[in-house]
Structure formats: C-alpha cells, structure tokens
A and B are shown apart, each in its own frame.
Chain A
Amino acid sequence: MAFTTNIKTFFGETGNIAGFTGRFFSTGLKPRFEFRELLNQCYIIGYKSLPLIGLTGFIMGLVLTMQLRPSLVDYGVESQLPVMVGIAIVREIGPVITALIFAGKIASSIGAELGSMKVTEQIDAMEVSGTNPFKYLVATRVMATTLMLPVLTVMGDAISLFGAYIGVNIRSVTSFHLFFTQVFHSLEFSDALPAFVKTFFFGFAVGMIGSYKGYTSSKGTRGVGSAANSAVVLSSVVIFIIDLLAVQLTDLLGLN
C-alpha cells in the first residue's frame, strides 16, 4: 500500500515538474519581460557564486593533479599529466563539480526563498499587485541560472586548470606556457563544446527544480526547510541524469 502511494507520489511529482517546466515555456518566456529582476538575479546567482566556485575549482584541479601523478609516474608518462588533467577537467569534472556546488548553493537558496515567500503569502501579494509571480520570481531565476552556470563553469575550469598547473609544479617544474600549450593541444572542440552546452541544461535544471520546490512548498517552517533540502537533492540527481544523457548523445553524434 505504502509502495503504491510512493509510486503515485513519484509520478505525480514528475508530472508536476514537467507541467511547471511547460509553464515556464508557455508563460515565463512571454513579454513583458522582467529584465531588471533578471539582471538582479544574475548578479546574485552568478557573481555572488564565483568565490565558492573558484575555490572548489582550484582545489579540485590541484587535488586531481596530485592524485593522478603517481599512476602516471608508474607508467612513465608523467609528462602527459597536463593533458590528462586538462581533458578530465574540461570534459567532465569542471562542469559537473561546478554544477553540483552550484546546485548546493543556488537550488537551496531559491527553494528556501520562494518557499518562505509562499508561506508568508508574498507570492499571493505579487499576484494581487498585478505582477505575475511566475514571471517575476520563477522565470527570472531559471533564466539567471541557465545563463550564469555556463559562465561560472568556464571560469571554474580556468581556475581549476590554474590549480592543476600549481599541482604539477609541486613535484616538478613546468612553465605556464608549456602547461597551457600541452592542455590546449590535446583538447578538441568535441571535448569542449558538449561540455559547455550541457552546463546550460545543468543550470536550467537547478533553477527549475529549486523554483518548483519553493513555489509549491507547503505551509510552515518545515515546508520551507524540506523545499530547500529536496531542491538540492533532486537537482543534484538530475544533474547526473543529464550528464548521462549528454555522454550518450555525444557518443551517438560521434563527438567522443
């Protein structure tokens, strides 16, 4: 009995999210556009996340390099360390780690913010004030996450590669120029482009799920808390699912 209820809840939730996404495309993208609020959200979501993304990216690059080195030394291809790290960061680790950190920071904050706005009737107040709260709150946030995550990923990748450069230089000496020549020499468009394109989808998923969880949160402090929590959990899972789809798609298109 509990099992069927769970299944029902699962499908119901999926359907609701799909409907919510459909609503974004049907009403969220129509004029009049909340351009000022979009810029404001871009500032909060993008610019304010940069220090966090930068720090995690830097550490990731450094750690990855230090972890990979022993194996490469075993095979006698230590000189290929920049190549290896470069491909790992640009193709997979950069986009996914950035998206996960982003989901942790942004999906929860959107979920909690919209959730508490819902609980304190601020969303109703907007509706009454003649502003479509979906457009003003949800559409702007979803667009901000969709546009900002790719920018953050690019900068996170760059910082990550810088971390990797420092990681290489802990045990051996490589010039900055040689390191970047090696990294970019091994990279193809088919490495960078799909990785870049998928971050748009990551960002969209984070914004959409965070907004959905907040916008539909139940009353009470607990509702807000669980909205924030489930927004992070669900968006992290969805990021991995999108990543899986992306790798299959690039495989199908022969870009791997």
Chain B
Amino acid sequence: MANQGENHIKLGVFVLTGLSVLILSFYLIGKNHNLFGSNFRIRARFSNLNGLTEGNNVQFSGIQAGTVKTINMINDTTIEVTMLIDNKIKSFIRRNAIASIGTEGLMGNKIVNILPGKVAGPPVSEGDLLAAERMVSTDEMLQTLSKTNSNIAQISEAIKATVLKINTSSLMDLANDKRIGPSVRSSLLRVEKAAGNAAQVTAGLNELIRGIKNGRGAAGVLISDTALAGNLQMAILKIRKASDNADRLTQQLNSLTQTIDQRLNQGDGSLNVLLKDSVFAQNLKQTMENLKKGTDGFNQNMEALKHNFLFRGFFKKQEREKAKQK
C-alpha cells in the first residue's frame, strides 16, 4: 500500500509537470498575440491594406507592440484597422505618430509599423485615430523603376554618341595602316589555325571518350597507363602556358585601347599625333610580337598533341577521310 502511495505521488508530479508545461506554452503563445495582459485600442485608416489580416503584428519603431484586432471596410477607399497595443508602450506613442503597412523581412507577413511623429505631441488614448502614411505599393515601385529606365535610356544614348565619335574619328585608319595590318592579319591567322587545332583535338578527345564509353578500342586500357597520363599532363601544361600568353596579350591590348581612349578624351585626339608617338608604336609592336609568340606556342602544343602516339592514329584517320571527301 505504501508503494502505491509513492506511485501516486510520482504520477501527480508527472501530470502536474505536463500540465504546467502546457499552460506555460499556451501562455507564451498567447503573449505573442495579446490574448492575455492589459492593452488598449488605437485605429488607423488606409486605402489599401496589401493583404494585412487580423492577427498580424503591430510594431512601434520596430518593437513588437501588439496585433491587428479587426479590419472594417468604411467605404470603397477607406479601410479602418483597429489595433490592440500593449499598455506598456502606450506612454511612448504620441497622437501624431504615423501608421504604415510594411512587410516582415522581404517575403514575410504584413505588419503595421507605427513611427513616432517628427515633433512631440500629446500621448495617445484609447480609440485614437492615427494618421496613416500611404505605403509604397508595388505599382509605385514600378513607376519609379520606369523613371530609372528612361534615365538609363538617356545615358546609353550618350554613350552611343561617344562611340560613334570614335568610329568616325580616324582611329580606323590605324587598322588600315600597311605596316600594322599584315602583322595583325598574320597573327589572327595563327590564332585561327590554333583554334582549328584545338577544335580537332577536342573532337578527337570526344571520339576517344565515346569509344571508351562504348567499350570499344584499346583506349580504355590505355587511359589507365601512367605514361600516357604524364603525356597528357604535359600537353595540358603547355596549353595552359599558351593561354597564359594569350591572357597577357589581351591585357596589353586592353591597355592599348585605354591609351587610345585617353588620347581621344584629351580633345586633340588626332590619330597622327597618336601614331607619331614612338612609345605607343613600340607598345603596339611589342603587343603584336607577343601575340605572335603566344599563338606560336599554342600551335606548337597542338602539333605536339597531334603527334602524341595516342592521338596520332585518329588524326591520320581524319586526314584520310578529308582526302577521301576531296
């Protein structure tokens, strides 16, 4: 019997713990929604609620102050929102405070923001009507955006004019210059050739991979060969070097164009002056030189790849096919 009494005590503790946890959690939930505790009502009228519903939070200067109690339609353009505000905050809200509808976070619930007025006023009392700020609606945002758009249009117009000016200026003569022209052309040709080689290599690789995938050919075995892996690694290193060179080249081209730009902006942008500038000419020459070197290196790499024993067969086959087609 004594044992049973002890059990009853344990049971009592258990049930009371459960009940107190329940009551506490209900209290905590209720506290957030102003179901308990003392509070008072204030009102505000809006023309558009943007989805505000009863139970949404009310913040005063960013502090949780209460909840929306009721929403009443007064007429087609006026909606009255009654809010329950915690009494603790009552003394801080002035009658000239402004209510507006905002959003919790970027995509969260709608809230009513009450912001204090610019000058001190009398404190609010039960049932006061606060001034409402017209909130920024999506439409308005779009309107602002369209204004921004037209500004951007104007700016791009101006840029276009500048570009045209550059075009019509004698800059283009630079390209027609007999000394520079051929070297540029030859370097471009080299680039093209290199690109062609690169395309061939990738096509070959593609074919090879497809072969491996389909389980055809000895490539599947070869791919695990460490010597081959070393070769490939070397080839890749070389390719990387070539592209580094190309990178440097573009950087120099970039600086070149910047120099041209500067000259043009300085107003006396006649190309003759520009061309007579020996420093610039040297720069340009150097650039072309580099470009040549870079593409040469790349070409060499591609050639090396071509002669690699693994790809040799494939390229030969390709050449044969080309010959056949001719």
Question: A47 at the A/B interface (Cβ < 8 Å)?
Answer: yes
**Contact with B29, one of A46, A151, A188 (Cβ below 8 angstroms):** A188
CB-nearest residue of chain B relative to A180? B28
**Contact with A154, one of B11, B18, B33 (Cβ below 8 angstroms):** B18
- Cα distance, A158 to B10, chains bound together (Å): 19
- Cα distance, A249 to B10, chains bound together (Å): 36
How many residues of B are in contact with the other chain, CB < 8 A? 22
Question: A40 at the A/B interface (Cβ < 8 Å)?
Answer: yes
Instruction: Check A40 against B4 for contact (C-beta < 8 Å).
Output: yes
Query: A40-B7, A43-B8 are contacts. A184–B19 as well, Cβ < 8 Å?
Result: no
CB-nearest residue of chain B relative to A153? B18
**Contact with A184, one of B4, B8, B32 (Cβ below 8 angstroms):** B32
Question: A110 at the A/B interface (Cβ < 8 Å)?
Answer: no
Chain B 12-53, CB-CB to A under 8 Å as 1, else 0, gives 001101110110011011111101000000000000000000
Instruction: Check B7 against A189 for contact (C-beta < 8 Å).
Output: no
Instruction: Check A42 against B11 for contact (C-beta < 8 Å).
Output: yes
Find chain A residues with CB under 8 A from B17 CB: 155
CB-nearest residue of chain A relative to B35? A189
Find chain A residues with CB under 8 A from B19 CB: 151, 154
Q: Give residues 92-150 of B contacting A (CB, 8 Å).
A: none
- Cα distance, A157 to B146, chains bound together (Å): 52
Find chain A residues with CB under 8 A from B33 CB: 188-189
Query: A43-B11, A47-B11 are contacts. A189–B22 as well, Cβ < 8 Å?
Result: no
Find chain A residues with CB under 8 A from B29 CB: 184, 187-189, 191-192
Find chain B residues with CB under 8 A from A157 CB: 25
In the complex, what's the smallest C-beta–C-beta distance from B317 to chain A, in angstroms? 48
Instruction: Check A43 against B10 for contact (C-beta < 8 Å).
Output: yes
Chain A 197-218, CB-CB to B under 8 Å as 1, else 0, gives 0000000000000000000000
Instruction: Check B21 against A158 for contact (C-beta < 8 Å).
Output: yes
Instruction: Check A151 against B8 for contact (C-beta < 8 Å).
Output: no
Instruction: Check A185 against B32 for contact (C-beta < 8 Å).
Output: yes
Find chain B residues with CB under 8 A from A158 CB: 21, 25
Query: A50-B14, A184-B28, A187-B29 are contacts. A154–B8 as well, Cβ < 8 Å?
Result: no
Question: A152 at the A/B interface (Cβ < 8 Å)?
Answer: yes
Find chain A residues with CB under 8 A from B18 CB: 150-152, 154-155
In the complex, what's the smallest C-beta–C-beta distance from A35 to chain B, in angstroms? 11
Find chain A residues with CB under 8 A from B26 CB: 189, 192
Query: A184-B28, A189-B29, A192-B26 are contacts. A47–B10 as well, Cβ < 8 Å?
Result: yes
Find chain B residues with CB under 8 A from A189 CB: 26, 29-30, 33, 35
Instruction: Check A39 against B22 for contact (C-beta < 8 Å).
Output: no
Q: B interface vs A, CB < 8 Å?
A: 4, 7-8, 10-11, 14-15, 17-19, 21-22, 25-26, 28-33, 35, 55
